[in-house]
């Protein structure tokens, strides 16, 4: 439910204040620090964050499929395959 909320935006994005939240004047905007569902950048920001975390755990991304990561552990190969369904 909250995967995309963990993505960190590289771009500067402003949105209107959400309904029910008014800070200051109603015409002021909010600057996003994290991705939200519905942003075009959200899936990419989420994948970049996930990939960096997996690479920090010594996983390698497959050249054939960017959703496939692998790592050798005690002589055995461990595969992690990501599948995201937004429907």
Could you give the number of structural domains in the chain?
A: 1
**61 inside domain:** yes
| Rounded-to-integer distance, Cα 55 and Cα 62, Å | 12
* Domain hosting residue 43, numbered range: 3-81
**63 inside domain:** yes
Annotate 9-64 with three-state secondary structure.
CCCCCEEECCCCCCCCCCCCEEECCECCCCCCCHHHHHHHHHHHHHHHCCCEECCC
Q: What are the structure tokens assigned to 45, written together?
A: 């920001």
Model confidence, pTM: 0.75
What pLDDT is attached to residue 41?
85
**86 inside domain:** no
**87 inside domain:** no
What pLDDT is attached to residue 23?
81
1 falls in which pLDDT band (50, 70, 90)?
low
At residue 87, does pLDDT exceed 50?
no
Beta bridge partners of 29: 16
């Amino acid at each position: 439910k909250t995967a995309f909320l963990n993505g960190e935006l590289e771009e500067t994005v402003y949105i209107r204040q959400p309904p029910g939240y008014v800070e200051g004047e109603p015409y002021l905007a909010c600057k996003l620090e994290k991705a939200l569902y519905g942003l075009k950048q959200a899936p990419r920001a989420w994948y970049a964050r996930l990939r960096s975390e997996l690479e920090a755990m010594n996983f390698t991304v497959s050249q054939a499929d960017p959703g496939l990561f692998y790592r050798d552990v005690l002589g055995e190969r461990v595969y992690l395959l990501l599948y995201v369904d937004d429907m």
